[in-house]
Structures are given as structure tokens and as C-alpha cells.
Amino acid sequence: MLRTTLLLGLLASPAFADCPKAVTDGVAKAFPKSKVDKCHPEHEDGKDIFEAKITRADGTKAEVDVAADGSILQVEEKIAVDALPDAVKKAFAARYPKAKAQRAEKQTAGTTVTYEVAFAKTEATFAADGRFIEEE
């Protein structure tokens, strides 16, 4: 009984309050032994999705966008600026010659991998081959 009460209390906590079972099940399937730290609903591009912040079994953290049916839409992982592919580093330096990259993220959506580079209140996204995608 105590175990059930503790489990229900955990599932009712703010981190899980807005995260349906299909979403947590989808994360668990894609990232075995991971822990969902936070989960909340979002509305992007006319679709309802859920953003789950997770800690993997190896201690690394990621942000996972999940559809209501539990399918993984995108995974965002912080990476060191030095870990950016050379093509992205070169493209960033060419496009923003006076900027210094402050942080980087690897974004994986299915088989598509992009890299977001943050600098001076700006974020630029590049394909793995260095092609510029967008600036925010």
C-alpha cells in the first residue's frame, strides 16, 4: 500500500502532471533506464506535443519532443562547441566571422541531424554538412 501511495504521489507531481502514459512509455522505450525529470505540453506548428527533459542511465541529459501517441519527434542534446562537426565549425566561422560560439546543441529528428550554435543572444542552425538552415 505504501509503495502504491508513493508511486501515485510521484506520478501526480508537477513533473508528470501533464504527461500522458503514452508519452512516458514512448520515452522509456526509446531511452531504457532513463528518468523523466520534467514533462509539459506544448503547441508547435499546429500540433500538440510534449517536451520531456530526461536523464539517461549514463547521467547525460536530453530534451525530447514527443507526440501524444508516444512517438519521438526530436531529441536535443547539449554538446561542447569543440564537438561540432568540422563542416559546421567552418560554416559558422564563415557566416559569423566576428562571433564566438557560446554553446551548441545536437538536434536529431528521425535520421536528420542538425546543430544549433548559440552566440550573442542569437542561435543559428546548420545541417551536419555545414549548410545554413536558420537564425533565431
Mean pLDDT across 114-133: 97
Q: Please give the pLDDT value at position 17.
A: 54
The label of the residue with cell 567552418 reads 90
Element (H, E) at 91: helix 86-95
- Give the pTM: 0.80
Residue 11 pLDDT exceeds 60: no
Q: What is the mean pLDDT of the chain?
A: 88
Go through the domains of the chain in sequence order and give each one's CATH number: 1-73 (3.10.450), 80-136 (3.10.450.360)
Mean pLDDT across 68-84: 96
Residue 70 pLDDT exceeds 80: yes
DSSP 15-67: TTTT--HHHHHHHHHHSTT-EEEEEEEEEETTEEEEEEEEE-TTS-EEEEEEE
